[in-house]
Structure 1
Amino acid sequence: MTAFLLGAALPYGQSLLNGLGAGSGFYGYKTDVPVPALPGAEVPDAGINVVFFGYRSCGTVCPLQLFNLKALHGHWSEHPVQFVFVTLDPENDSQPELNRMMAALGENFRAVRPEDFRQAQALADAYGDFAARQGGGKEINHGARLYVVTADNRRQLLYATPELDIQRVNDDIARLVGIEQS
């Protein structure tokens, strides 16, 4: 129960997370935990994946995080950085629809579609996120977090809110991939 309450509280403050990860020198919350590989969206050699769990019909935080990912893509499109959208609603998000959405966002975007909601939920849980259907409807309550994963399938950074300082996220990514920022 305590873990669930903590997980539910995390989306409400990047500043809270910055306090938890104080001393790491990163803007995001520094972690170092193994996560499952994402089929069809393996992390590039010497690169990273920025992973987001959401769904196409989400009208709240998903568009904001996708906007953030698009802004990040503009800076990293020539580098081994992929942006991975994992649908939490595979029953309604077809792979062709997801592929079209990713192509519209940029060449380094990938979509992962688990077989069903339970598998999507388990995958989100393995990354430290959560997903729950609200009242039997189409709405899915989820964390709206971004996860930065290195080639060894370790989650290195967590951003818990769509209210991001994109330049500071870019600085974190540069540090992880070993690129000097100008």
Structure 2
Amino acid sequence: MPDVTLTDQDGNPYNLAEDPSTAAVVLFFGYTNCPDVCPGILADMATAKRRLPEDLVDDVTLIVVTTDPARDTPEALKEYLARVDDSFIGLTGSLDDIKPAALSLGIDIAEGKQLPSGGYEVDHGSYVLGFGEDRLLRVVWNEVPVSGMKDDYARLIG
């Protein structure tokens, strides 16, 4: 897990390597204005957690780190994640901090194309990363069914 301190959706500092207190951490780099991929991935992450046995649900921390900090303020993340699953930790900060943290995990972030609406997309890797209690990367998901993700969450918890 990268040792980087970002800002959570409540405006508090949050260190990826030190602050999660659960047995498992599931991490995704995405953004709230993503037109297609991110909403589905975040929904799958949350659904997999909700499907865990009741005694394991609180042993997984779901984290999304924005790839678009210019638009994803703490307030924007809070509002967005409340609609997805309010147990998510949403993190923002400087792209100069986020990019190296993402790249250290094999996730590339690049400026995307300009949209006709005047907005823009952000190109980024869409892998979901699972860390065990030792905060070592244990699993990488790419288009995995929710049931498989849920089973992996349970394995990460131990």
Using structure 1 for the length normalisation, give the TM-score. Answer: 0.68
The structure with the largest helix share of the pair is 1
Name which of 68, 71, 80 aligns with 2:44: 68
Worse-superposed segment, 135-144 or 60-69: 135-144
In structure 2, the partner of 1:172 is 152
Amino acid at match of 1:168: G
Partner of 1:151: 133
CA distance in structure 1 between the partners assigned to 2:86 and 2:71 by the alignment: 24
**Aligned AA (2:107):** D
| Matches of 1:141 and 1:118, distance apart in 2 | 16
The one-letter amino acid paired with 1:36 is P
CA deviation string 1:36-71 (max 9, x = no partner): 1454253224x1111010011110211110121121
Identity value in percent: 25
Q: Is the 8 A contact 2:4 2:97 kept in 1?
A: no
Select the structure of larger CA radius of gyration: 1
Cα RMSD (Å) of the superposition? 2.0
Q: Find the aligned partners of 1:158 and 1:62 in 2 and give their Cα distance.
A: 16
Summarize the Cα distance change of 1:38–1:84 in structure 2 as closer, same or farther, 3 Å threshold.
farther
Gaps of 5+ in 2: 6-13
Q: Which runs of 4+ in 1 moved over 3 A?
A: none
* Paired residues for 1:1-182 under 5 Å: 35-37=1-3, 39=5, 40=14, 42-45=19-22, 47-76=23-52, 78-115=57-94, 117-135=95-113, 138-160=120-142, 163-178=143-158
**Hey, what's the Cα distance between the residues in 2 that align with 1:106 and 1:135?**
29
Higher relative strand content:
2
Deviation of the 1:123 alpha carbon:
1.6
Q: How many residue pairs end up in the alignment?
A: 140
| SS of corresponding position for 2:120 | coil
Question: Residue type of the partner of 1:172?
Answer: D
TM-score, length of structure 2 as denominator length = 0.78
Deviation at 1:106? 2.7
What is the SS of the residue equivalent to 1:111?
strand
- Segments of 5+ residues of structure 1 without an aligned counterpart are 1-34
